[in-house]
């Protein structure tokens, strides 16, 4: 998969009697694939909340020295790339809001679609919300959620201490789009999923405590037992009295199907299905749909590996490696600008001429978004002596932009938006090209087809989207100039 940026990763833990900063670090490490721009942890011992965050990978942001001040038994964490708001330190998460006698922190995975309306709403309240005001923590929709919660937060401490919970119940029905949230104050950890459950969030049990995470793989690394997915439209509240489940909206499940195609780790489970097995089934379906005579099936590593395995198994064509991946280069699509992504492709993959020369290749990739890196990959195979290159994609043509947390740019940036499969084949320089049909993709997931958002393939958006891209509505003029420049 190339030329897109995916969703962020969130993690939360409540474990009385244990210092949880190290576990939060490990949880974020397991979610690093979901964002490489920044990382952060908020932690509390029940009185004070401490936040440490910075630009870079989890291992770059945190070491023993920076983890040391994070005392406490409850914490949340975040790994980010930018969907709303530009890539800078101010927009790193968790976002912290000082209110009442203490404050709260929030980490957000997804993207709101009504940021313009919410910003206008805040502007009509006392203390105008000005996106050009540098005193604000950030210019993200996550900060917007934090501001809305802060306005609803009861300054006079309630007798049961559930100020943040009550604020959430007032604010959540006003949010539109995709939001999987973890939040905390000095005594509670919360998990929230939007009514469609567009972005994943799971619940686990750890010795004497609870864990929330974007993916089940993050539970495994901290030794937590997977219990279930947080339901769409559900608010989970965790404190000293245990766990409470609050239904704040009626659920209409529409998990992003691209989580199965690319975003989620292969060792994650979604809808009770193994992502790795689903991707192998996608390759099998692709071999049945678009067979070809060839000498070797090879993946574009690493995201194309399971589908290539499935294609080889079904077709009987031997599986082999055509590229060596530099393991120390991150996912190219996560980098904020196209020039950086292009440079990374050249250092990320190196062809194996001895495996390629003189062979007819079936090259399997999970998706094509803009197509620039795919074109470079095919050129490398040709230069290494491949006699034929048949490209097979284990998902349908990516024709529509995502407004729910996957940053693919505008529709005009998408290769398949206005090009036929034949035209794309000519542009890429391949001998043949085939995409997996949408119905076959949905069948391969093993989950009900109606339980998915397929907007990027079908144009059928489950939540109304704006006529113009509002993902940057909260940016200052200077940030917009920097992003465009």
**Residue 8 designated active-site:** yes
Residue 248 neighbours by CB distance under 10 Å: 16
Q: 349: closest CA among 298, 413, 294? A: 298
**Of 423, 391, 422, 406, which is closest to residue 457 (Cα–Cα)?**
406
3-state SS string over 320-353? CCCEEECCCCCCHHHCCCHHHHHHHHHHHEEECH
The Cα–Cα gap between 483 and 485 comes to 6
User: Can you give the length of the chain in residues?
Assistant: 485
* Annotated catalytic residue within 8, 256, 453, 456: 8
CA distances (Å), origin 233, targets 137, 181, 424: 28, 12, 40
Residues 6+ positions from 66 with CB-CB distance below 8 Å = 52
Residue 187, C-beta contacts closer than 8 angstroms, at least 6 positions apart: 44, 46, 74, 161, 239, 240
Q: Are the C-beta atoms of 14 and 44 separated by less than 8 Å? A: no
Local structure of residue 414 (DSSP, 8 states): -
CA-to-CA distance for 388 and 386, rounded, in angstroms?
A: 6
Catalytic residue list: 8
């Amino acid at each position: 998969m190339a030329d897109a940026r995916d969703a962020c990763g969130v993690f939360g833990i409540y474990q009385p009697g244990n210092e949880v900063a190290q576990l939060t670090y490990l949880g974020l490490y397991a979610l690093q694939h979901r964002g490489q721009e920044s990382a952060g942890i908020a932690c509390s011992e029940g009185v004070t909340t401490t936040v440490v965050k910075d630009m870079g990978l989890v291992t770059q942001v945190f070491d023993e020295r920076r983890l040391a001040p994070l005392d406490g038994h409850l914490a949340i964490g975040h790994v980010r790339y930018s969907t709303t708001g530009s890539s800078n330190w101010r927009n790193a998460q968790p976002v912290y809001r000082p209110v009442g006698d203490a404050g709260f922190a929030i980490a957000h995975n997804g993207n709101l679609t009504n940021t313009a309306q919410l910003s206008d709403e805040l502007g009509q309240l006392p203390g105008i919300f000005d996106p050009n005001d540098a005193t604000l923590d950030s210019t993200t929709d996550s900060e917007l959620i934090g501001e809305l919660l802060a306005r609803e937060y009861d300054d006079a401490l309630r007798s049961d201490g559930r100020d943040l919970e009550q604020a959430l119940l007032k604010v959540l029905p006003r949010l539109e789009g995709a939001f999987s949230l973890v939040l905390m104050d000095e005594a509670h950890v919360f998990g929230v999923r939007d009514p469609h459950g567009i972005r994943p969030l799971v619940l686990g049990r750890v010795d004497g405590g609870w864990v929330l995470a974007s993916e089940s793989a993050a539970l495994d690394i901290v030794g937590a037992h997977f219990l279930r997915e947080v339901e769409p439209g559900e608010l989970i509240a965790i404190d000293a009295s245990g766990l409470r489940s609050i239904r704040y909206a009626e659920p209409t499940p529409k998990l992003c199907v691209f989580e199965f195609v690319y975003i989620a780790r292969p060792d994650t489970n979604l809808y009770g299905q193994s992502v790795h097995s689903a991707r192998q089934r996608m390759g099998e379906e692709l071999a049945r749909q678009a067979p070809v005579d060839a000498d070797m099936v090879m993946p574009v590593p690493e995201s194309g590996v399971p589908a290539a395995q499935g294609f080889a198994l079904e077709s009987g064509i031997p599986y082999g490696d055509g590229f060596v991946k530099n393991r120390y280069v991150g996912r190219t699509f996560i980098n904020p600008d196209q020039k950086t992504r292009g440079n990374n492709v050249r250092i990320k993959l190196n062809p194996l001429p001895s495996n390629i020369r003189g062979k007819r290749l079936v090259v399997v990739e999970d998706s094509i978004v803009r197509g620039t890196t795919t074109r470079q990959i095919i050129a490398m195979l040709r230069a290494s002596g491949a006699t034929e290159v048949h490209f097979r994609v284990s998902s349908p043509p990516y024709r529509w932009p995502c407004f729910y947390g996957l940053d693919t740019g505008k529709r005009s940036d998408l290769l398949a938006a206005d090009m036929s499969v034949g035209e794309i084949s000519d542009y890429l320089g391949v001998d043949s090209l085939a995409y997996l049909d949408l119905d076959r993709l949905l069948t391969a997931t093993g989950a009900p087809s109606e339980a998915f958002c397929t907007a990027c393939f079908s144009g059928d958006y489950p939540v109304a989207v704006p006529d113009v891209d509002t993902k940057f509505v909260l940016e200052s003029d200077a940030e917009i100039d920097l992003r465009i420049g």
